[in-house]
Amino acid sequence: MLKVSNIEVYYGKIRALNSVSLSVKQGEIVTLIGANGAGKTTVLRSISGLQRLEKGKIEFLGKDVSIVPAENLVGMGLAHVPEGRRVFPGLTVYENLEIGATSWRKGKACLSGDLENIYELFPRLKERSKQLAWSLSGGEQQMLAIGRALMARPKLLLLDEPSLGLSPVLVEQVFEVLHKINGQGVTMLLVEQNAFMALDIAHRGYVIENGRIVLTDTASALSNDSKVKEAYLGG
Amino acid sequence: MIQLLISGLAMGSIYALVALGIVVIANAVNVVNFAQGENVMLGAYVAATLTLTLHLPILAAYAISIILLALYGYIFQKVAYYPLRKKPFITVVVATIGVSMFLKNAARIVWGPQPIYFAGPFGESMIRVGGVSINAQNILIIVVTLALVVFQHFFFAKTSLGRQMQATAQDQEAATLMGIKVSRMIAFTFIYSSMLAAAAGVLLAPIFYVSADMGANLGLKAFAASIIGGFGSVPGAILGGLFLGVLEIFAAAYVSSLYKDAFAFIVLILILAFMPRGLFGEKISTKV
Ligand SMILES: Nc1ncnc2c1ncn2[C@@H]1O[C@H](COP(=O)(O)OP(=O)(O)OP(=O)(O)O)[C@@H](O)[C@H]1O
Ligand SMILES: [Mg+2]
């Protein structure tokens, strides 16, 4: 479904990604784990077209999307839940969700089916539907960011550290929902520093260090890998 | 008393319209557009030329002026904003100052140094209400401003395009990820702001004379009004504009008309000193 081949990305003169390759197959949850500053966010931003590639190629659903503008990718079925949630603070929960459907919605097409699904996954959002997004708690904002991305009816969902800043209970809840969404047929590429949780729900994983993929395997093999254990799972 | 209040509210409505144009752009792209006053001047000159030289009916002149300014707004952002959009705040602001000086000098060359007078749709007619007679143009200004404010509220809150423009103003990158065509939304914002300027210009012309210098003072007052109301806030820009208009007229009538402009800036300084977020504060909810 997604194939990233040897991409290189620079910030000014500094190379952030060095020949990164990875792939995600239909139906999978693939996780990309790594320390602060390893380049995880840059990988996702490159895939969704927010970051210019210096070299390499990205294919999505068999099409070369390396130079497709970011705003067109979401219409092709690629949604990105960005780092830091980035909900629209001055819009209500409902309006945020509604705007998530921009890429496919024509005129006033009915959204109630999509909304119902999201409210079922995140009942909190339904309770808060008329509230402005800035007034939500961090956890609720994360739910909204995920819900908003789902409104785009994605085939592939990119998630950038959905557990960041959430209490352990909330992290559990969010990951449970991600598992459910995957069961509904949404493929995922999940970036996490919380390697424990990520490897728990993922099928396969990649480890990134200093802008390079250093390791890839099934999630269970990675969980048992001594280097991964030491570096990312607290020994 | 009533007459004063009405003329104050009329002038205040104009400030409010100009301030709105500034605030809409500031919220969308974080640029303070110092050419907004000159955009008003341009709208007024275009309407004056259409009626006085080309003898078009006045309402047609109003409409054409607003349409031409919409086109101008598109070109303005293509020339003065888009190429500089990744540059620091100050670079873009300086570019808008450059545009304002260009427009002012161009106007002087095209339309000459003499101020032009052109009457509104009601000429000089007065409306008598009870015992007082009120300039019909002032009523028109207030009514049209009110209608525009209601329209703007409805447009941004209820239409899909308005929502997309709001989302773009709040977070351009997140808007891109939603599939929103961000550069198009920004162009629309500039177009809308220029149309507001044209509306202010054609409404103002009959009570103000049209001149190359009219924009500078107007732009500054509107900027002051938006700060008085709380910069970035849409209701703040409207209320700040009305407040400033009324204050000026009463200060001119009861204190001294010589220092009318000084009052505006004394109030601005007092507000900045004691209420730095403006009279009505800045609420994120009201950002457009
Ligand atoms: N806009 C930028 N300008 C310059 N350098 C940047 C920029 N964004 C990221 N970098 C650098 O690129 C490298 C990779 O950053 P990236 O944000 O992709 O890491 P990350 O793995 O997502 O980190 P984190 O876990 O902290 O989110 C880092 O060294 C970072 O300092
Ligand atoms: Mg990151």
Closest by Cα among A31, A26, A78 to A175 = A31
* Terminal Cα distance for chain B, rounded: 35
- Does B180 contact A80 at a Cβ distance shorter than 8 Å? no
Residues B190-225 have pLDDT tens digits of 999 999 999 999 999 988 889 999 999 999 999 999
Q: Which two tokens stand for residue B76?
A: 């303005």
Q: Per-block average pLDDT, block size 10, for chain B (288 residues)?
A: 90 97 93 95 95 91 96 94 90 92 94 87 79 87 96 93 95 96 96 97 91 92 92 91 93 82 84 81 47
pLDDT at B288 (0 to 100): 43
Count how many domains chain A has.
1
DSSP A234: -
Segment holding A225, helix H or strand E: none
Question: What local confidence, expressed as pLDDT, does residue B208 receive?
Answer: 85
C-alpha A161 to ligand 2 mean position (Å): 7
ipTM given for this complex: 0.93
For residue B129, which phi and psi values (nearest 5 degrees)? -120, 120
Q: How many CB atoms lie within 10 A of CB B135?
A: 20
Give the span between the Cα atoms of A207 and A189, in whole angstroms: 13
The model's pLDDT over B136-160, given as tens digits with 9 standing for 90+, comes to 899 999 999 999 999 999 999 999 9
- DSSP state letter for B126: E
Q: Give which of B122, B110, B94 is closest to B31, Cα–Cα.
A: B94
Each residue's pLDDT tens digit, B7-24? 999 999 999 999 999 999
pTM of the full structure: 0.89
Which residue from B4, B8, B3, B15 is spatially nearest to B222, judged by alpha carbons? B15
Q: Are B197 and B42 in contact (CB under 8 A)?
A: yes
Answer positive or negative: Cα dihedral of B41, B42, B43, B49: positive
Q: CA of B43 to nearest chain A CA: how many angstroms apart?
A: 32
Residues of chain A with pLDDT under 70: 235
Mutate to test the interface with B, among A91, A136, A159 (most CBs of B within 10 A): A91
Check if the beta carbon of residue B49 is closer than 8 Å to that of residue B232.
Answer: no
Q: Report the share of chain B in percent with pLDDT over 90.
A: 66
Decide: A166 and A174 in contact? Cβ < 8 Å. Answer: yes
What residue type is B231 in one-letter code?
Answer: F
Distance CA B28, CA B170 (A): 7
Which of the ligands is closest to the CA of residue A212? 1
Residue A38's domain comprises: 2-232
**What integer pLDDT is reported at residue B281 of this predicted model?**
64
User: Could you say which of A71, A98, A132 has the minimum Cβ distance to residue B181?
Assistant: A71
- Name the residue of A11, A31, A192 to mutate for ligand 1: max ligand atoms within 8 A of Cβ: A11
What pLDDT, on a 0 to 100 scale, did the predictor assign at position B118? 82
Domain holding A150: CATH number?
A: 3.40.50.300
Question: CB contacts < 8 Å between A and B, how many?
Answer: 67
CB B248 within 8 A of CB B260: yes
pLDDT in the model for residue A235? 61
| Beta strand extents in B21-96 (DSSP E only) | none
Of A71, A98, A148, the CB nearest to B180: A71
The residue among A139, A36, A52 whose CA lies nearest residue A87 is A139
- Please list the alpha-helical segments (H only) found in chain A: 40-47, 70-73, 93-100, 112-121, 123-127, 138-150, 168-183, 195-201, 219-224, 226-232
Q: Cα separation of A105 and A118, whole Å?
A: 17
Mean predicted lDDT score pLDDT of chain B: 90
Residues B25, B124: Cα–Cα separation, whole Å: 35
Residue nearest to atom 29 of ligand 1 (CA): A37
**Spans of all domains in chain B:** 2-215
Instruction: Find out whether A73 and B268 touch, Cβ atoms under 8 Å.
Output: no
What separation, in Å, do the N-terminal and C-terminal C-alpha atoms of chain A show? 34
Name which residue sits closest to atom 17 of ligand 1, judged by CA: A41
B contacts of A99 (beta carbons < 8 Å): 163-164, 167, 178, 180
